[in-house]
Amino acid sequence: MSSKVYFTDFRARQTADNKVCKIKRLFKAAGFENMLSDGDLTAVKLHFGERGNDSYINPVFVRAVTDCVKETGASPFLTDTNTLYVGYRRNAVDHVETAILHGFNYAALSVPVIIADGLTGTNEISVPVHLKEFKEVQIAADIVNADSMVVLTHFKGHVMSGFGGAVKNLAMGCASVRGKWEQHEAAQPEVDPKKCTSCGTCIDACPADSIDMTPAGAHIIRSTCLSCGHCMICPSGAIFHDWSRVPAFIDRMVEYAYGSVKEKKGKVCYITFLMNIVPDCDCASWSDAAIVPDIGILASDDPIALDQACCDLVNRSVGFENTKLRCNHKSGEDKFKGIWKNVDGRRQLEYGEEVGLGTREYELIEVE
């Protein structure tokens, strides 16, 4: 059975068709007001953007969603989790400050910001999943304890998962720091001892002190490696990604996504923004040029159907020249393979369907 995915484009010639109005109509058309209950503590899960990034979801659009949530009688709070990598969102103090600097503040949105895994990313709850990669996953406690959730996603490319949509937002975005490490551990970099010159550049670059120099050259300490890629600055090209391990990374992501919503059946609403479709995650401290034109906003109660619809709409678009998109510019060609040739993001959808996270079959319903 197919899932319903609701869509609105960005065309507007009157006030009633501005983006805020369209978001509110989309929320209603998707039936989200019936999924949230009076008194619900509702986690509005989004990405506040790393400092230097400007392609995250506009706070004005987020306000439209939180207003809709409030009208149901639920109590929304904006949330994300602390990062594994070194940056301005690695602890709750810096994270909240970054959110405020990017416009996600109480004055603008009239809802609080709560970092779901606590001060240093250790506030977690183990959720049993009993799947291929994990028996249990480590989810941020305040996401587990929330009564319902609205997942707001900026759809874009990603170097390790091909694209970042609702599934990745759930997987990495709802995991504690330990949970993020468990996912990234499958994709830690490798060292080619034949190329290593023992120069030490990687040691200086590693933010986690996870590289030793041995008589055979650089050695990565697996138990503490963050998989951040900083060491790949290696001047001799001795440190590299083993792309054959990426499918395992994606499978781990999917299992974490499954665990993050396992106990919230019928209580999770998904809204995805197909705009500023850049090559990289909002975790990057920059925003590259978009690879295709802005498309619209989509909503569903099925994250797999939603991500599938987003992929299809992006691939139907004609890609921009002079961007990170090096090939596959024509309508119908895979844009994310045109950016990250070594990654097949469709595995997220295939495995997600297999574990019961959703279905790839969908009916696209346009909302005027």
CA distance 198 to 190: 15
Closest CA relative to residue 359, chosen from 350, 96, 315: 350
Q: What is the spatial distance between Cα 302 and Cα 312, in angstroms, rounded to a whole number?
A: 16
pLDDT at 334: 98
279-321 pLDDT, tens digit per residue, is 999 999 999 999 999 999 999 999 999 999 999 999 999 999 9
> Tokens for 184?
């990234």
DSSP letters, 313-364, are HHHHSPPPSSSS--S--STTS-HHHHH-TT--THHHHHHHHHHTS--S-EEE
pLDDT tens for residues 159-177? Answer: 999 999 999 999 999 999 9
Q: What percent of the chain has pLDDT over 90?
A: 95
pLDDT value, residue 300: 98
Kindly tell me if the per-residue pLDDT of 241 is higher than 90: no
Residue 15: per-residue pLDDT:
98
Q: What is the average pLDDT score of the chain?
A: 97
CB-based contact 345:311 (threshold 8 Å): yes
Helix (H, G, I), strand (E, B) or coil at 201: helix
Cα-based distances in Å from 3 to 147, 164, 217, 268, 359: 23, 20, 53, 14, 7
Q: Kindly report, residue by residue over 39-90, the tens digit of the pLDDT.
A: 999 999 999 999 999 999 999 999 999 999 999 999 999 999 999 988 999 9
Non-local (6+) Cβ contacts of 320 within 8 A are 289, 290, 291, 292, 293, 329
Position 230 scores a pLDDT of 87
Per-residue pLDDT reduced to its tens digit, 140-163: 999 999 999 999 999 999 999 999
pLDDT in tens, 254-284: 999 999 999 999 999 999 999 999 999 999 9
* Per-residue pLDDT at 211: 95
